[in-house]
Structure 1
Amino acid sequence: MGLLVLALAGCSMFGPPKLREEEIIPEASLYQQALASMDNQRFLTAIELLERSERQHPRGQLAEETKLMLVYANYRIGKFDEAILAADRYLALYPNGRDAAYVYWLKGTSYFAQIKDITRDQQISQNAIETYTQLIRAFPNSEHAKDAQDKLKVASDNIAGKEMSVGRYYQGNGQHSAAINRYRVVVEQYQTSTHIEEALYRLTESYLSLGLVSEARTAAAVLGHNYPSSEWYKRAFDLLARQGLSPQVNEGSWMAAQRT
């Protein structure tokens, strides 16, 4: 116990011990060790080696490859936030690098992998959409663009599902104007989502509840025009028929432009 006190006192009297200088290892050696570690599924070790190479050789000949591998290694072990940060570092320095499309894909998929369900905040889905959109615009012919398109649809569907969930909540509480605003987002921004048919039906319901008959008839007419075989259209048609009404587009409605 006395030795411990003396050791601490020594630290107090003479200051903290000097940090040992990091041994400089050739860049190529660090990079090859990192690759070997990844081959052996030792990704944490690989990340340490790659980060060391970044510190010791920030402008080295393998700097771009090192930053790419940092994105990949973090992604592989599910350290998605770290992968996203590493991707941003790579893209800031090499926006048109030979692997930029792949880095965009890794970044987008790091967001995509964290999408849980429609009941949660959809910022992650929005981040995935933005990243995949950047990839598709910048590298439309990339081998990663097709997969990004597919994943973008899923992320968009997730956001549309969230809007529908909130809209149904408002509608169930009699807040029809608030519900309409949510359904309108789906109809205007997520036309390819799996929720579009229900959104048009819910608009028919909500507009009828507010006495906005022309808008209700328009919603049903657009639903029938775009999805004539839909079960949602049958329900909308029957809903109007019970009130002696039929689907009819009001050309002055915002929904008139939604006909495909």
Structure 2
Amino acid sequence: MTQPSLEGKVAIVTGSSRSIGASIARTLAADGANVVVNYVTDESAAEIVVADILADGHGNAVSVQADLSSMAGAQHLLDETVAAFGRVDILVLNAAVMEMGTLGQIDDKSFDKHMDINVKGPLFLTKLAAPLLPAGGRVVFLSTSWTRASHVIPAALLYVATKGAIEQLARALAKELGAREITVNTVSPGPTNTELFRSNRTDEMLQAVANTVPAKRIGKPEEVSEVIRFLVSGGAAWVNGQNILVNGVRRIAMTSDRFL
């Protein structure tokens, strides 16, 4: 029987109580990793993910409540990870907020919220974790295909700004941490079939989004997870500083604002 490729590795997946984050946690655990399922408010959802992982019987998992918009929250997450599993090998920085607002609608509160959760949180968690990561460690940031699109809806102003910042952080960190044989990459999903994405969209809207992709469908969370599975594996040791779009070659520029 082939040994799971992540056997003995410890992975933190931020914002992993639902949607893409939950899929990532389950996928890495299925490869043998010990996974820390991070959440902020929904303990019951995080415990469901943990229970699924334990029932699968490959990896191990614990849930940890931590608000990563503060340094204290990031340190708490790391402390709990080390207490549970003794080390950390993999960071998947998935937690984010996306609240729509045009230039006239945003204020300093919404700006600070997006920057704290989407930029400050991932950056300082990486800073605190870096001394613990061994050679062969992996860091994966989550961005969005919107940063590469020719068309971005005005109301996504703060979200795309923070994701653009994340991509630049990852580029710089790939050089610094790469010197220690720790890879840093970014994964940028397109529309993905999650409860959050489906909410407030009619079937017509969902089909319009699907029609922007050659395969005429919306991506699945597992299709994002599989890319991350590769990036954190031993086989990806020579993949560093990359931004991989997981969007089915989506033609975003051809889609009406109300469908995005």
Q: Same fold (TM over 0.5)?
A: no
TM-score (norm 1): 0.28
Bigger relative contact order, structure 1 or 2 (CA pairs below 8 A, ≥6 apart) = 2
Q: Quick check: which has more Rg, 1 or 2?
A: 1
Which structure shows the bigger proportion of residues in strand conformation? 2
Which structure shows the bigger proportion of residues in helix conformation? 1
